């Protein structure tokens, strides 16, 4: 493992992403399971599937916006564009950072 500093990803973007993450994981289980393993989207991993201490939401690239938008519409209804834009911005910056590192 390693820690990267001066990576150029703003604290503001991290805060927005963290805020949406807290919103998503505080939703009722039945709402999150609309994205679960038996759904067509399969982007949500419920607790106890991989570990009793883990639940996750997968957003896949290279088109992070569309991936986030699909999950966001199911979780937030039509008000998912801000979530999609934040994930797209973060995904783009992390992809650029990974190219710089490699």
H helices of the chain, in order, are 11-25, 29-32, 64-76, 81-101
Whose tokens are 């927005």? That residue is: 16
Distance CA 87, CA 52 (A): 26
Q: What is the mean pLDDT of residues 69-80?
A: 82
DSSP structure string for 20-41: HHHHHHTS-HHHHGGGSTTSSS
Please tell me the pTM assigned to this model: 0.78
Q: What is the mean pLDDT of residues 77-81?
A: 76
Q: What is the pLDDT of residues 19-45, one digit of tens each?
A: 999 999 999 999 999 998 888 888 899
């Amino acid at each position: 493992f390693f820690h990267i500093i001066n990576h150029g990803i703003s604290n503001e973007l991290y805060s927005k992403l963290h805020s949406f993450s807290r919103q998503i994981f505080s939703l009722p289980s039945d709402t999150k399971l609309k994205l679960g393993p038996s759904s067509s989207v399969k982007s949500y991993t419920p607790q106890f599937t991989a570990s009793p201490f883990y639940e996750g939401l997968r957003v896949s690239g290279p088109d992070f916006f569309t991936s986030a938008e699909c999950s966001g519409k199911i979780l937030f209804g039509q008000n998912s564009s801000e979530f999609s834009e934040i994930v797209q911005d973060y995904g783009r910056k992390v992809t650029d950072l990974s190219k710089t590192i490699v």
